Amino acid sequence: MGATLTVAWREYASFFRSSIGWLVIALYLFLSGLWFAYDSITPGQPASMRALFSVSQWLLLIVAPAISMRLLSEELRSGTIEPLMTAPISDWHIVIGKYLAALAFLITMLLPTLIHVGVIELLASPDYGPILAGYLGLVFVGACYLAVGLFFSSLTRNQIVAFLSTLFFFMLLVFISSPNVAALVDEPFRSLLFGLSINLRIADFAKGVFDTSHAAFFLAFVVLFVVLSVVGVESRRWR
């Protein structure tokens, strides 16, 4: 556990030593702030963060791969992966530590958006249940994006390739699980495609619905791709 936390802290701190970390935070806060001002505070309408939570799924689809693309790709490109792999820690410690660092960075990026909650509190009497569920949904979907990004980062030295691979993976997933496409196939494949829909799950979180099946879906996604990332790193020992 100590080795994992050491790797996690080293990686987390590195986000703030590079321009990409600050750029990612600035980009997300700028775009989410614009959307909050445009769609969440409308005269005559209830003050709510539902619209912000819904659009943040798409913002995170851009931002999260930018966070994860360097986790292992940079180590592979610079050659620092070899001394890291020969250190007295396992590949599991390396991969999980880096993943936890990326997740901690993503949560750090989301924290300033609590200012929006304060603004809504000044204007209305919000229901904090949907707000809490919405933030949990963002953490879950962000964790899912990061796990897949970590996997693609373990396969290539090129950060741009890792970024685009993650982006295209989720664009394809959104496409095949959309109602129009899923309706073209018969059961049980139709239910399977609907079950893969991230949009439907994050929409429930945005409405304030916390479904344990949604949480299980995202956690299973995270576990699967973190394990695949470990396999990707271990495969380099076999070459």
Q: Residue 107 and residue 111: Cα distance in Å, rounded?
A: 6
| Residue pLDDT, tens place only, 198-216 | 877 887 787 777 778 888 9
Query: Is 137 within 8 Å of 90 (Cβ atoms)?
Result: no
Assign 128 a pLDDT band (cuts: 50, 70, 90): confident
- DSSP annotation of 25 reads H
For residue 97, is it within any domain? yes
State if pTM tops 0.85: yes
45 lies in some domain? yes
User: Where does residue 8 rank: exposed (0-12), middle (13-18), buried (19+ CB within 10 A)?
Assistant: buried
Q: What is the DSSP string of 200-213?
A: HHHHHHHTT---HH
Domain enclosing residue 117, as ranges = 2-234
C-beta of residue 197 within 8 angstroms of C-beta of residue 122: no
How large is the greatest C-alpha to C-alpha distance in the chain, in angstroms?
64
Residue 166 has pLDDT above 60, yes or no: yes
What span, in angstroms and rounded, lies between the C-alpha atoms of 155 and 78?
14
Cα(12)–Cα(190) distance, integer angstroms: 40
Residue in this structure with the two tokens 């890291």, named with its chain if needed: 84
- Each residue of 43-89: pLDDT tens digit? 556 666 777 787 888 889 889 999 998 888 877 777 666 666 666 67
Check if the beta carbon of residue 167 is closer than 8 Å to that of residue 175: no
> Is 239 inside a domain boundary?
no
> Could you count the other beta carbons within 10 Å of the beta carbon of residue 74?
17
Query: In total, how many domains does the chain have?
Result: 1
pLDDT by residue (tens digit) across 216-238? Answer: 989 998 999 999 998 888 776 65
CA 169, 174, 180, 184 dihedral sign is positive
